[in-house]
Amino acid sequence: MTRRPFPSCFAAISSMGLSRLFIPHLTPAIPYSTSAQPIYSSPPEPYPLVTRAQRLSVVQGPTIPPLWNRTLGSLVKEQAERRGKRTALIVPWQNARLTYEDLEYRSSIAAKALLNAGLKHGDAVGIFAGNRFEYIELFLASARIGCPFVVFNTTNSPHELCSAVARSDCKALFIASSIGSINTEDHVYHVATTEVVGACLEQLIMFDRSPSRELFNCHRYEDFLNDGTNGPVTNQQLERAETRVRPSDVLNMQFTSGTTGLPKVSMLTHNNLLNDGRYVGHAMRLAQDDVVCCPPPLFHCFGLVMGFLASFTHGSTIVFPSDRFNARQTLDAVETEKATALLGVPTMFISELEQMESQPQKITTVRTGLVAGSPVSPSLMDELKAKMNVQGMLIAYGMTETSPVTFITSLDDPDDRMLTSLGRVLPHTAAKIVDTDGNIVPIGERGEICTSGFALQKGYYKDEVKTQEAMRRDENGVLWMHTGDEGYLDEEGYGFITGRIKDLIIRGGENLSPSEIENQLLRHPAVREACVVAVKDRIHGEVVAAFLQACSQEKKPSDGDIRDWVLQDLSPVKVPAFIFWLGHDGVDAELPKTGSGKYQKHIIRDIANRLAGRKAGQRIKGK
């Protein structure tokens, strides 16, 4: 999701391609009726185009295909009937292959086990685990009985996990004994013994094995499932529980990325996520013969919505190659399962390409996929096409609070749009660009990106103040999500992001966009990764600092080359005053990222200021 660019994450219609359905509509400043609009209402039919001089930065997506108004539980049953023994899920590291029938059956057993454990409609079910098949069957089980499914970041410390469990009021928590190389025993112990967690948590269930320390009320997953098979809850009781679930109920609770502070808990409904995943799948033109390889984590919307739900809504097969990202396991899964789509953030693709250099591997089946999380360099896209034979990669934009995707590119877009834009808005979605006073700006002018339509979250859990700050109705009663991202729209309806408003570099009173500078740096043929932040400066207040990764050590440009490259298209004030090459001169080989792969710029700013103070990077004079 990019959220920042995601540069992140549509049946018969997928064969046509989204771009052929999309007609951008640039509308007057008041495109809606004056009656208040609920969150899930669709944007109205577009107004006629106005003259160029009047065009404002408002764009609406098409009204086809129509929105679904259904629950995930109903889809589980339908797909089991329609797809039956077709493979739905493959997890090579667990040696697991599940059909659509298997998922329906296993999720029904898990749902009855949840009911047997005393959970009811509205009670939160949490999970702290890597990408595994139990993750999906519990997600579907919780959906079937109306229990919000809370997903916890696997990079959380024991203290952070306890805090998150308490903040989301989880009644049950499922936890893996290990996630990649991480042993979770301390996490389990802290959850089981922390008083604030004990106030809400009633069930603690472990995958794989029991904890080495005897803990009160901690059970094995196999015993939990046995209660679903042999317990007192009947199929009729499960069916009654399923009938109480509504499409507007909360399906999933996601913690926002937290790149600028304490994560908030976003409440996302069945309607939110099913439609968003479905439209993303349409953009990839998924069909039942497609195999989607999904290394991004399931605790993030990228893995859960853009990966699993995009695949599940289209009857495709999804592959989780490892519980935590591993480039070699990903490539092996792509080759073995003949994946036709591959998802990931840029750093994942970079690691996969590096693996292919050290251990050559022939990848020939991938036709498409999604890149999200941060800007994509032309050199990276070229490498994917050359070394993985990818026909076309999509780029998406959004945020957790918008389910997550609102903009996405098309497989029919020209290369310049594919690499530089966010794409265009999804069906039944609207976007506008506003100034600091909330006024819609003319086409091409920068401002805050705001979005409206079906994908908007229900709100932040137990935080009405933050909800009202982010989600505001305009003078016509239309509800808009204020993203905090700066960007603009062009006359064809494409969106462009120029950065986080909070990340702007203020140099001598002039606002500089980190994304604009990053994009220029990424266009350099020898630069694979770029991150730009502000560094404090005695004269200008702030100046530009750039962290760069070269495509190869042999082709690493000089700082002077980088300066000249930026000056080709940007003004001198945007030339980095400090350049830090990853893995050189005391600079770490990797930058801090969230568990979903986004740069933690508040931490990176601190690193840049420390490095600048120690003169680890060479300041370009006069910048």
| One domain, residues 424 and 529 | no
| One domain, residues 490 and 512 | no
Task: Give me the residue label for tokens 């999309």.
Answer: 22
| One domain, residues 511 and 491 | no
Task: Give me the residue label for tokens 């990079």.
Answer: 155
More confident residue, 454 or 23: 454
List the Cα angle 312/99/250 in 5-degree steps: 40
Q: 343: alpha, beta or left, given left = phi > 0 and alpha = psi -120 to 50?
A: beta
List the Cα angle 101/102/104 in 5-degree steps: 65
Task: Give me the residue label for tokens 């339908």.
Answer: 78
In the chain, pLDDT over 70 holds for what percent of residues? Answer: 88
pLDDT of residue 6: 33
More confident residue, 226 or 541: 226
| One domain, residues 476 and 514 | no
Q: Which amino acid is at 264?
A: K
Is 3 inside any structural domain? no
List the Cα angle 358/359/364 in 5-degree steps: 120
The CATH number covering residue 444 comes to 3.40.50.12780
Is 260 inside any structural domain? no
Strand, helix or coil at 240? helix
**pLDDT class of 252 with cuts at 50, 70, 90:** very high
Q: Which distant-in-sequence residues (6+ apart) come within 8 Å of 382 by Cβ?
A: none
What one-character-per-residue DSSP string does 567-588 give? Answer: HHHS-GGGS-SEEEETTSTT--
| One domain, residues 350 and 213 | no
Beta strand pairing call for 341-344 and 368-371: parallel
In the chain, pLDDT over 90 holds for what percent of residues? Answer: 71
| Cis ω before 321 (30° cut-off from 0) | no
The CATH number covering residue 238 comes to 3.40.50.980
pLDDT of residue 258: 55
| One domain, residues 196 and 220 | yes
**Last residue of one domain, picked from the residues 213, 246, 279:** 246
Q: Quote the crossing angle between the two packed helices 346-358 and 378-388, to the nearest 10°.
A: 50
pLDDT of residue 197: 83
Phi, psi of 292 (to 5 degrees): -100, 115
| One domain, residues 432 and 403 | yes
What is the pTM assigned to this prediction? 0.82
Position 375 pLDDT exceeds 80: no
pLDDT of residue 39: 29
**Last residue of one domain, picked from the residues 498, 528, 550:** 498
Alpha-carbon distance 587 to 615, whole Å? 11
pLDDT of residue 5: 38
| One domain, residues 178 and 288 | no
Query: Which long-range CB contacts under 8 A does 100-107 form with residues at least 24 apart?
Result: 100/315, 103/76, 103/79, 103/136, 103/137, 103/140, 104/76, 104/77, 104/79, 104/80, 105/80, 106/137, 107/76, 107/137, 107/138, 107/140, 107/141, 107/144
**pLDDT class of 233 with cuts at 50, 70, 90:** very high
**Last residue of one domain, picked from the residues 468, 498, 528:** 498
| One domain, residues 486 and 578 | no
Is 34 inside any structural domain? yes
List, for residues 117-149, the tens digit of each pLDDT value: 999 999 999 999 999 999 999 999 999 999 999
Position 596 pLDDT exceeds 90: no
Position 32 pLDDT exceeds 50: no
Domain that holds residue 482: 12-69+268-498
Average pLDDT over residues 445-462: 97
Position 17 pLDDT exceeds 70: no
Q: Which distant-in-sequence residues (6+ apart) come within 8 Å of 473 by Cβ?
A: 36, 479, 480
Judge contact between 425 and 58, C-beta under 8 A. no
| One domain, residues 520 and 493 | no
pLDDT of residue 30: 25
Is 621 inside any structural domain? no
Is 93 inside any structural domain? no
Is 623 inside any structural domain? no
pLDDT of residue 98: 99
Domain count, the chain: 3
Q: Which range among 1-5, 72-76, 183-187, 221-225 shows the weakest confidence by mean pLDDT?
A: 1-5
| One domain, residues 534 and 478 | no
Position 15 pLDDT exceeds 80: no
Is 7 inside any structural domain? no
Alpha-carbon distance 319 to 172, whole Å? 27
| One domain, residues 110 and 238 | yes
Position 618 pLDDT exceeds 80: no
Strand, helix or coil at 73? helix
Convert 462-480 to b/e letters by CB count within 10 Å (16 or more is b).
eeeeebeebbeebeeebbb
The CATH number covering residue 568 comes to 3.30.300.30
**pLDDT class of 23 with cuts at 50, 70, 90:** very low
Is 371 inside any structural domain? yes
Q: What tokens were used for 108? A: 């029904």
Position 4 pLDDT exceeds 50: no
Alpha-carbon distance 588 to 374, whole Å? 19
